[in-house]
Structure 1
């Protein structure tokens, strides 16, 4: 395997121990952050909306200290070299294809996969469709799509109300205007519990030409029926949910166990909001390291 593949562009601007690289994969070039020894067991991280690979900085550093090779890339719409304008370019097959293309570019037959928010939804898809490419799966915040769909249909769960924002995000043009109005007040409110400099870092990317539309196209292009057709997950799975997450309800989180047939661990972080990789960093990193160690022989 060649986890050092990619063009180094120096140290990450926010942390000298994280390397900034570019990964040519398929038709695109993805910007990425990498930490840890090149020979270490590779772990690939998928970020969510509306963040970037920088959201995983604490986990990259924690895994690097443990001898793992931690790789987080800015996904389609977020990387300047992977920002197609067409809504149709953000379908399930295209997004899954990006993950596989990055693995191939890095020379990785199999990887430990970690995803949060939309990255978590994508991680479920990769695990369901291409289990042969994974050693383990870790999903943060996002329930399995079947559990999430069931919760939306159950009025008592409250998930329908939690997901109401998606209607706005799927509205072409109006969503961009709303999210960026008044110096991006809507997005700043989403990031309210994060440090101001962290929010600014994400906003600086979303202000780039085509970036916010690309990020919103994840919502516009994905067919919920397609998301549900992946079947049960056989890969050893860690699912981490937090009890102050406004986006995903407890019934959906608890029901996720019904869609995993392989080894499964469900952990609830108390008093943590949706931004687990940052606001629950130490707990998440500890859980992730234990999960990886439990399956080092795979």
Structure 2
């Protein structure tokens, strides 16, 4: 296991500028180019068969649980799949539920109910009091509260990036609530991911856009920019609070031998945010975990290979009792 490196939750100056941060987020989700007509290619990325109306998520529902407003989008199970175990989705750093790839969501939703949860203070759950804690174990408790509120005794859980850390915290603290885990590019620790976030916030919009996907893949799939979900506004200050929370998170690598929930770790071989080697370290530490590497997959690989990822998750979850 790599030695821990000191991690100060000092926020980089670039992140303190809401206008700059929103500009970076827009680049992240929409891109600077490719929104013009004619950029979509019929033989582009796998799953590039979006049709009008399919990319709209259900309106968010909200509930105040233990004094904190939580929000989620409920995608009901299709006919004939009502008895399948529900799947809870936990979102990554500085993202709302709008950031999930729609083709990926449809693939997951084809065989089960999917609940897309917002992290506290994000999306329709905006308005978190300044003194309310924002840390990964607290977000895991929010997830457990939401499952209880929805009457879901046990769910499968998929976490992306920071959401993967939240999913691991949930499974370690409340294993009776989690049937199986799918961990998509989970960070090893805050110390490991902090230099990457600082590098990201120091990039110009053009540099960040160029780094979103592997260069060769992006050149071959120009339609990806038009198909990215449109961003939702971020509540003021939440990116800063999540940054500090993620930076201070020690990770769970030392506790992973105690994980007793079946786990699938998904890593992109070209992921520079949560590198495949960091994901491999976690998969090797977790008893009986499965590791799947996606060639040319970056941190945003659900926008590259939505069908492939949905199939890997679906096959794994369907194999669990």
Q: Displacement, 1:167? A: 4.7
**2:184 is the alignment partner of 1:140:** yes
Q: Does the residue aligned with 2:125 lie in a helix, a strand or coil?
A: coil
Q: Hey, what's the Cα distance between the residues in 2 that align with 1:188 and 1:251?
A: 24
**1:119-158 equivalence runs, <5 A:** 119-143=163-187, 145=188, 148=189
Q: Does the residue aligned with 1:19 lie in a helix, a strand or coil?
A: coil
282-291 or 22-31, which moves further after superposition? 22-31
Gaps of 5+ in 2: 1-51, 219-223
Q: Does the residue aligned with 1:80 lie in a helix, a strand or coil?
A: helix
Distance 1:205 1:229, change over 3 A: farther
Q: Does the residue aligned with 1:205 lie in a helix, a strand or coil?
A: coil
Give the match for residue 4 of structure 1: none
Matching residue within 43, 49, 60 for 1:21: 60
Q: Displacement, 1:230? A: 4.3
Matching residue within 244, 257, 277 for 1:220: 244
When normalised by structure 2's length, the TM-score is 0.68
Q: Hey, what's the Cα distance between the residues in 2 that align with 1:234 and 1:43?
A: 18
Q: Does the residue aligned with 2:261 lie in a helix, a strand or coil?
A: coil
Give the match for residue 228 of structure 2: 198
* Paired residues of 2:137 and 2:170 also in contact (CA < 8 A): no
**1:84-123 equivalence runs, <5 A:** 84=128, 86=130, 89-123=133-167
**1:61-76 equivalence runs, <5 A:** 61-66=106-111, 68-76=112-120
Give the match for residue 20 of structure 2: none
Q: Displacement, 1:165? A: 3.8
* Paired residues of 1:116 and 1:142 also in contact (CA < 8 A): yes
CA RMSD of aligned residues (A): 3.1
Q: Displacement, 1:276? A: 2.3
* Paired residues of 1:56 and 1:72 also in contact (CA < 8 A): no
Q: Does the residue aligned with 2:123 lie in a helix, a strand or coil?
A: coil
* Paired residues of 2:263 and 2:289 also in contact (CA < 8 A): yes
Larger helix fraction of residues: 1
Give the match for residue 262 of structure 2: 236
Q: Does the residue aligned with 2:60 lie in a helix, a strand or coil?
A: strand
Distance 1:256 1:226, change over 3 A: closer
* Paired residues of 1:92 and 1:226 also in contact (CA < 8 A): no
Matching residue within 36, 40, 65 for 2:77: 36
Give the match for residue 57 of structure 1: 102
